[in-house]
Amino acid sequence: MVYEVLATLWEAPATDNEVARAVQDRLGIPCSRNVADHHLRILRTCGYVTPRNIGGSVSYALTESGSTLLAWYAESIEKMETA
């Protein structure tokens, strides 16, 4: 699910609700706001995402290291699919 959260934020900063909906759409399984918030907190603690106040609500954006992690995940997935 980390990949899906990062991929969502690659597109644009998003709130925890927006991340939950996007992950649900990507995976086709339910994803609650609490689950999205949990992943966002871990990614924030590790420095992969940063909160921003956009229009009065908290949105999350990828940091440079978050973009690097997303690229690493994408490359790993591609290698597994072509193996």
The closest of 48, 47, 62 to 13, measured between CA atoms, is: 62
- Each residue's pLDDT tens digit, 9-62: 999 999 999 999 999 999 999 999 999 999 999 999 999 999 999 888 899 999
Claim: this prediction has a pTM higher than 0.85: yes
Structure-block tokens of residue 51: 């909160």
70: enclosing H helix or E strand: helix 64-82
Which residue has tokens 């908290």? 58
Per-residue pLDDT at 23 = 96
Distance CA 40, CA 6 (A): 9
Question: Please, what are the domains in the chain?
Answer: 2-82 (1.10.10.10)
At 30 the three-state DSSP class reads: coil
Eight-class DSSP state of 29: S
